[in-house]
Amino acid sequence: MAKERTQAPRKNTEAGPARRAGDRGRYGRLSRERVLASALQLVDREGLSALSMRRLGAELEVEAMALYRYAASKESLLDGLVEALYLELEERLPTTAGPATEGPEWRATLHRNALATYEVCVAHPHAVPLLSTRMLAVPLARRPLAVLKDHERVIAALQEARLDGTRTSAAFRAYTAWLLGYISVELQPMVDNPEEPDPAFRLGLHRMPPQVLPGLRESAPALAVPGGPERLAAGLDALLDRFTRAE
């Protein structure tokens, strides 16, 4: 009787969707733009704490290791999210209409830039903290090009106002501080219990001792009303007037 030949089990060369060559995932072949867009969508849905290479890989249906080709580390991925926000800002600028003003074009440019930034941040509130935290961690020259182009746009507008170097840098700092500070305050959660119809309980004023925090309790209802782009523009005009008025 012929000896029966045993056949070694064949290796399964068909990789699953998370292991296919060429970094193909749910949305087809990966690219830096796709990776960052998916990361931003994840943060929009679930917040920054949900973002990790493993979780993002699952979203794109690829191994987490495949993402390191597009973001070398978690910090690089966070910087990429900042880049994505500023790229969206650039896209919005041509169609952003600032407040009607008879002032010079440089002032209108700054208003449009501020309003576009406001709109991007309102659209992606969970990612907004990165605009401060990553700027504290990344030196100027290492920031994404889209961020640097925004800085350049603001400085160029201030230079058109014929400010000297010292006043331009001071105005740039003040503009940036006002814009990001306003947005941060605007997006702070104020409502303690959304289901509560009574305004005082809705805001949780009963949690604030009246003897210790009388002014804050009185101001809380007004603070809970968003200032919106109108107050952003009014504050920006007051700031610019401070730096451009004749001395």
Please write the tens of the pLDDT for every residue from 86-127: 999 999 998 887 666 668 999 999 999 999 999 999 999 999
d(CA 182, CA 166): 24
* Residue 57 reports pLDDT greater than 80: yes
Q: What is the pTM of this model?
A: 0.83
3 state DSSP class of 198: coil
Radius of gyration for the alpha carbons in the chain, expressed in angstroms and rounded: 25
d(CA 34, CA 42): 12
Selection from 137, 23, 146 nearest residue 80 by Cα: 146
d(CA 243, CA 247): 10
Selection from 44, 46, 41, 34 nearest residue 71 by Cα: 34
pLDDT tens, residue by residue, 176-214 = 999 999 999 999 999 999 999 999 999 999 999 999 999
Walk me through the domains of the chain, giving residue ranges and CATH numbers: 17-72 (1.10.10), 80-244 (1.10.357.10)
Question: Would you place residue 17 in the very low, low, confident or very high pLDDT band (cuts 50, 70, 90)?
Answer: very low
pLDDT tens, residue by residue, 145-174 = 999 999 999 999 999 999 999 999 999 999
